[in-house]
Structure 1
Amino acid sequence: MEKIAEQETAPDQAPESNLGTRERVVRAASRLMQRQGYDGTGIKQISKEAGATLGSVYHFFPGGKQELAVAAIRHGEREFAEELAGNLRSEDDPAQAVLACTRRLAESLRASDWVDGCPVTSTALGTAGRLPDIQQAAAEAFAHWRHLVFEKLHQAGIAEPDAHELAHTVISTLEGAELAAQVSRDEQPLLTAGRHLARLIDLYRAPAPTA
């Protein structure tokens, strides 16, 4: 029964001390791989960070680091999806909502001393071409984030094909700007990206010229 209870983990926002072993391991893996990448993070380091034994890690993840990385990506995806959805709801105007997203991303990145970038990209990039399960989990994460942006744009009256393309542009631009901000230790790339994305969205919302 103890093992079953450990798997019934608390919500993502619960304090670390209240979490079961499996969730602590997943959070530790997500945090470390976000900062160090897949290849730079070892199972022993994850177990130490999580306050768990190696036996516990392999009990919950018999597939080892690859299986754990997939769980870590899904955890990071959920966390960012909640943040993104909240930011998009914060403004009725989609252009202002995306601008708010970039501002809050900049604030979070600065608060982490520029170490906590995208919770998916760092893990997935080091596995490109060799670990399809991780690539698939990352692809699903980006697809979900794009869908959240698409819904906001479409609800604001932007035509479906345009909303799909804009959603791709928004997520791709945020990813690139966040990386640039992280490398330069400067929020300006994110803030600049937000302003330009807002202008682009406004162009699609502008009324068509009359004949």
Structure 2
Amino acid sequence: MERIDLLINEYLKKQKPKILHDLRVEARRILSNLERNGKIDLGLKFLLKKSSKLRDTDVMIKICKNKEIKKYLKKKRKKLRKKFIEFLKNFKSEIVELENKKEFIDCKKVLSETFLNKDDKTLHKIRIKIKKCRYTNSQFEREFKAIQDYLGKVHDFYNCEKLLIKFDKNPKNAIKNKKKFIKKAEKERIKLLNLIP
């Protein structure tokens, strides 16, 4: 929890998207390992929930090139950031036993099906499972991270596509990029599936 406290303090001072990303990664790492032992940190779980839209907005500002959309996103980020900072000022860790011990994720099973024919929401759910696999399988962390990153790009371009449609703009490039990253994730999935015993 020491690293979480450091990252919270750093974010409160600088409010940089990279620090928020690092804070969320560390929170997920801790939660994955707690879950493996039948526990959960309610504070960290809430931190992830409270920061999710802010993180998505930070990413969308980077990848959506349309000026009108960027302006909309920056205004949205300002409001989300203000709420999140208030939450962080009162953050408390609270580790409790899970009532229904979740079954440990079978990472080989997660990798057993192709990504190519999945819809956007299913791919996002798979990405969440891949993250847990990454944080609990140190020997394959780099490989899981590659898949996670590609599926993250898929999700980012899906969100960009939705925004472009909302603003009556052509989503062609967002769709093209999304498909490109699905193919890259699929290539990594096949490689890793052959490595896992």
* TM-score clears 0.5: no
Which of the two has higher C-alpha Rg?
Answer: 1
Which has the larger helix fraction? 2
TM-score w.r.t. length of structure 2:
0.33
